[in-house]
Amino acid sequence: MTRIESDTVQIQKPGKEVYAFLSNLNNHQMIMPEQVTDWKSEEDTCEYTIIGTGAVHLKVKVRRENHLVSLEPNGRIPFPFEVFWHISPHHAHCEVKVEIHADLNPILRMMAMNPLKSFINQQVHNLQKRLDG
């Protein structure tokens, strides 16, 4: 299993607020990189296209209040994966990072590792800007 981890960012909001934002997939459109188009979502599901890559369909798998939102593919996928939004609450702020766990063969791993890391780094930094702004 390949594990891809984003930067950890500090957000000057309580973990409760960050969790509330992340647990509703409608909000994820606001933190997506520019290469994401054709966004559709509900609270528990989302689908979008990454230009040059293809369509992504996700659904919430696990919500652990104020600590974790886990997403999994919703429908047919080229390889199994899961996305984890980790929230580490502190007093007046929290730390957030994203992890992708994917079952990638060695060739796909070499091709996908850097673009996926860049994609989740953009998301976590966009989250920080959005909530701290």
Enter the pTM of the model: 0.94
Specify the pLDDT at position 27.
98
Domain boundaries along the sequence of the chain: 2-132
pLDDT one-digit tens code per residue, 108-121: 899 989 999 999 99
Q: 54-64 and 45-50 as β-strands: parallel, antiparallel, unpaired?
A: antiparallel
pLDDT attached to residue 52: 85
Q: Could you give the residue ranges of the DSSP H alpha helices within the chain?
A: 15-23, 106-132
pLDDT of 78 reads 78
pLDDT of residue 79: 83
Instruction: Report the alpha-carbon distance of residue 5 to residue 113 in Å, rounded.
Output: 10
Which amino acid, one-letter code, is at 85?
W
Instruction: Report the 10 Å Cβ neighbour count for 127.
Output: 23
**CATH class name, domain 2-132:** alpha beta
